């Protein structure tokens, strides 16, 4: 088969040698830092509400409570650390072009019966610039049952570590879910790093 004029052979292009569908680090945030993030839910500058998705036919894909944390100077310790970790992991495993934060940070609360069914973080509008998704586990795993963060990167779901302060990162086009919480309360911080559309 003839190669188009000016086309590059795959072996001549920059290639990743350590790509993974998801990466997790244990103890990325300390217990004290997790407490500080949890305390942001009480801030007057945050709004709390119930987020619901629709998978079509009126079926709800999400049942959880959320609030939004806007980047601001006094939170540079948080947003700076998150961005640093995301950039480092991206360089090692994903190789995407990133802008940085394009949306506020979301603090999510999953009580008994709460869940987030299979979905992508990539979508229309502001969701179209999401390139890298991350989740920080804020709760002690002994405080709840169920509530596993899973990605579908093969024939079976892969569950990320549940340890307090663990951070999971994955491209926003990777299918993922939070399984139903069967007891207790699961708290997490969720965010996205944006970048240009593929060309």
- pLDDT tens-digit map of 25-47: 999 999 999 999 999 988 744 44
The pTM assigned to this predicted structure is 0.88
Distance in angstroms (rounded) separating the CA atoms of residues 15 and 38? 39
Mapped onto helix, strand or coil, the DSSP state of residue 158 is: strand
Q: Is 153 left (phi over 0), alpha (psi -120 to 50) or beta?
A: alpha
Element (H, E) at 78: helix 76-89
Element (H, E) at 183: strand 181-184
Q: Is there a contact between 196 and 143 (Cβ–Cβ < 8 Å)? A: no
**pLDDT at site 42:** 81
Residue range 147-196, pLDDT digits in tens: 999 999 889 999 999 999 999 999 999 999 999 999 999 999 999 999 99
- DSSP of 2-69: PPPTTPPPGGGS---SS--S-EEETTSS-HHHHHHHHHGGG-TT--EEEE--B-STT-B-EEEEEEEE
Q: Is there a contact between 82 and 191 (Cβ–Cβ < 8 Å)? A: yes
DSSP code, position 91: I
**pLDDT at site 47:** 47
């Amino acid at each position: 088969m003839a190669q188009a004029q000016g086309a590059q052979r795959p072996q001549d292009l920059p290639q990743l040698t350590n790509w993974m569908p998801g990466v997790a680090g244990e103890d990325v945030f300390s217990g004290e830092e997790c407490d500080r993030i949890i305390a942001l839910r009480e801030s007057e500058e945050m709004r709390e509400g119930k987020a619901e998705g629709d998978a079509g036919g009126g079926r709800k894909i999400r049942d959880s409570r959320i609030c939004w944390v806007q980047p601001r100077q006094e939170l540079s310790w948080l947003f700076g650390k998150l961005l640093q970790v995301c950039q480092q992991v991206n360089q090692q495993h994903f190789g995407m072009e990133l802008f940085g934060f394009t949306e506020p940070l979301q603090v999510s609360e999953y009580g008994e019966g709460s869940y987030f069914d299979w979905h992508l973080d990539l979508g229309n509008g502001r969701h179209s610039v999401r390139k890298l998704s991350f989740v920080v586990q804020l709760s002690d795993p002994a405080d709840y049952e169920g509530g596993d963060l899973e990605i579908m990167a093969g024939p079976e779901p892969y569950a990320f570590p549940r340890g307090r302060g663990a951070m999971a990162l994955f491209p926003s086009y990777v299918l993922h879910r939070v399984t139903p919480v069967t007891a207790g309360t699961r708290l997490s911080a969720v965010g996205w790093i944006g970048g240009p559309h593929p060309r």
